[in-house]
Amino acid sequence: MSKKSIYIYIISDSAGETASKLAQASVAQYEELDITFIRKTFVSETAELMEALEGALADEAIIIHTMISKEFIQVANAFCAEHDIFCMDLLSPLVNEISKRSTIEPNRIAGAVHSLNQDYFNRISAMEFAVKYDDGKDPKGFLEADIVLLGVSRTSKTPLSLFLANKNLKVANLPLMPQAHIPSQLWDVDPKKIVGLTNNPDILNKIRQERMRAYGLNPDTAYSNIDCINEELKFAADLYKKIGCVVINVADLSIEETASIIIDELDLQDFSFFG
């Protein structure tokens, strides 16, 4: 039995990422379908829009559009209504409702969420900061950071740093080992900016063994030894208590969930616009 072929046209006067993500999330539910995505993005002329709409009509396609131009929206919706094409206008309902409630007209700027404004440059700067001050490379970064993450190996410090950087937060992190020196700069940081990460010993044991196997090495080393792991976790717990910082066990948490807890605990909600 051959797979049924369905065309989905993504039409936008910007990058069309919102419509693409929705379409991909939807078709992921259907393994037995042959889905073809046709992207018509950065549409800037009515002629371009009409060409895309005519193509969708010929392919008997589904249309998902994210256009902010009133003219383009009216043309697309009218065309789809006339030709009985299934059409999803993703932006208009919410944009119009916000306008109605606020009595403020939208600026109608295509791709406004991706514009190169100061927030964009702040985010890039935060990403560069996270890379520069990853794994305690330069303890001076602790004093400039919005958040300092502490944790033993494999407690998600680096991915968390990058995820939080995408919310414009400057994050430095420091790996903890009983035999390692704690940089003096750490004691000059406000404890309210420090987060201690921990994990369950058995989970760390499995994660570290898998890491060794991935490198083609013996999985049973001091790095994955459960007694050594318990020693590391006790060292970290004692340090966190001494600092008086927030402590989060990441054992059953995704990166997103851990980041959300950090933002709430440190009262940094104003930075989470891009989440």
Give the residue among 111, 198, 126 at the shortest CA–CA distance from 155.
198
pTM exceeds 0.75: no
Element (H, E) at 127: helix 118-132
Which structure tokens are listed for 122? 């702040």
The predicted model gives 11-22 an average pLDDT of 90
> Is pLDDT above 80 for 19?
yes
Lowest-pLDDT choice from 2-16, 108-122, 124-138: 108-122
Rounded CA-CA distance 152/177 in Å is 6
Q: Which residue has the tokens 């969708």?
A: 56
> Is pLDDT above 50 for 171?
yes
Rounded CA-CA distance 17/14 in Å is 8
CATH 3.40.50.2300 residue ranges of the chain are 4-114
Annotated binding site: 151-158
Which segments of 140-225 does DSSP mark as H helices, in order?
Answer: 157-165, 201-214
Under CATH, which architecture does the 4-114 domain have? 3-Layer(aba) Sandwich (3.40)
Rounded CA-CA distance 197/150 in Å is 6
Residue 135 · residue 159 · CB < 8 Å? no
In this prediction, residue 114 has a pLDDT band, given cuts at 50, 70 and 90, of low
Residue-wise DSSP of 221-261: STTT-HHHHHHHHHHHHHHHHHHT-EEEE-TT--HHHHHHH
In this prediction, residue 109 has a pLDDT band, given cuts at 50, 70 and 90, of confident
> Is pLDDT above 50 for 1?
no
How many Cα atoms occupy the beta-carbon half-sphere of 183 within 13 Å?
20
Please give the pLDDT value at position 274. Answer: 40
Give the residue among 3, 16, 8, 91 at the shortest CA–CA distance from 56.
8
Please give the pLDDT value at position 261. Answer: 96
The predicted model gives 58-70 an average pLDDT of 95
Task: Write the DSSP symbol of residue 216.
Answer: T
Three-class HEC string of 31-62: CCEEEEEEEECCCCCHHHHHHHHHHHHHCCCE
In this prediction, residue 270 has a pLDDT band, given cuts at 50, 70 and 90, of low
Annotated binding site for ADP: 151-158
Please give the pLDDT value at position 150. Answer: 98
Please give the pLDDT value at position 18. Answer: 87
The CATH number fitting domain 118-274, selected from 3.40.50, 1.10.1060, 3.30.70, 1.10.10: 3.40.50
**Residue count (the chain):** 275
Residue 161 CA, distance from chain mean position:
11
In this prediction, residue 265 has a pLDDT band, given cuts at 50, 70 and 90, of very high
Rounded CA-CA distance 233/181 in Å is 16
Residue 197 · residue 250 · CB < 8 Å? yes
> Over the stretch 117-129, which tens digit does the pLDDT of each residue have?
567 778 889 999 9
> Over the stretch 38-59, which tens digit does the pLDDT of each residue have?
999 999 999 999 999 999 999 9
In this prediction, residue 113 has a pLDDT band, given cuts at 50, 70 and 90, of low
